[in-house]
């Protein structure tokens, strides 16, 4: 089994990718690999929102684990997972810190150069949009209905997740990226 952890909630709704996109993403992930199982994590108060993500998907492969795990259990789950998909939030930072393959769906409210999760195992998905960074905390303040996240397609995130897992599988060292990731740069394994 390939365990994918989705952490769809941050402390600020302006940073959260829409729930329907997460729901579609889960469908794409399940279709991409019959071995994939998904765990949606969050607090007990986020469980109702997580229902919207898992509802359309088979229970044996997609679990709503919001409120079911203690923090140490969350850490263990992340360590053991094949991929973590998150917003700009604490779980994304933890996952990158632990070197776990991570896809971070990063909204336009904050500057990704300042707040992105660090780590060579992190793949950052964000939108080029003229109104970013707006520095807003709440969706209610967004004059464009959080277009910076709304316009990120589930297919893009799913592709990134598949890619980040494939790289981790093809290289034992998770922080080494294969050639062709970016044309102009190469990964240095040894100190400069």
- Phi, psi values for residue 26, rounded to 5°: -60, -45
Distance in Å, CB of 77 to another protein, minimum? 19
Between 2 and 51, CB nearer to another protein: 51
Token pair of 24, please? 């579609």
Q: State the maximum Cα–Cα separation within the chain, in Å, rounded to a whole number.
A: 49
Dist CA 37 CA 151 (whole Å):
26
Other CB atoms within 10 A of residue 87 CB:
25
Q: Is the distance from CB of 95 to CB of 84 less than 8 angstroms?
A: yes
Kindly give, in sequence order, each residue whose CB lies less than 8 Å from that of residue 189, ignoring residues fewer than 6 positions away.
173, 176
| Closest among 84, 69, 138 to 107, alpha carbons compared | 138
Distance in Å, CB of 65 to another protein, minimum? 11
Distance in Å, CB of 66 to another protein, minimum? 10
Distance in Å, CB of 70 to another protein, minimum? 18
Distance in Å, CB of 46 to another protein, minimum? 11
Element (H, E) at 138: none
Residues that bind another protein (CB under 8 A): 13, 19, 48-49, 51, 54-55, 57-60, 64, 112-113, 116, 118-120, 122-131, 138-140, 143-145, 147, 151-153, 156, 160, 163, 177, 181-188, 191-192
């Amino acid at each position: 089994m390939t365990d994918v952890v989705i952490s769809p909630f941050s402390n600020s709704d302006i940073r959260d990718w829409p729930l329907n996109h997460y729901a579609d993403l889960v469908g794409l992930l399940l279709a991409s690999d019959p071995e994939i199982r998904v765990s949606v994590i969050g607090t007990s108060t986020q469980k109702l929102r997580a229902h919207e993500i898992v509802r359309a998907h088979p229970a044996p492969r997609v679990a709503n684990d919001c409120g079911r795990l203690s923090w140490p259990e969350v850490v263990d789950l992340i360590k053991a997972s094949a991929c973590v998909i998150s917003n700009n939030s604490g779980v994304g930072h933890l996952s990158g810190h632990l070197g776990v393959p991570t896809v971070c769906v990063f909204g336009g409210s904050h500057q990704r150069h300042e707040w992105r999760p660090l780590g060579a195992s992190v793949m950052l998905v964000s939108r080029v949009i003229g109104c970013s960074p707006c520095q807003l905390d709440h969706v209610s303040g967004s004059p464009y209905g959080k277009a910076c996240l709304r316009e990120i397609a589930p297919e893009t995130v799913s592709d990134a997740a598949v890619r980040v897992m494939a790289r981790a599988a093809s290289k034992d060292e998770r922080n080494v990226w294969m050639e062709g990731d970016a044309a102009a740069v190469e990964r240095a394994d040894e100190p400069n």
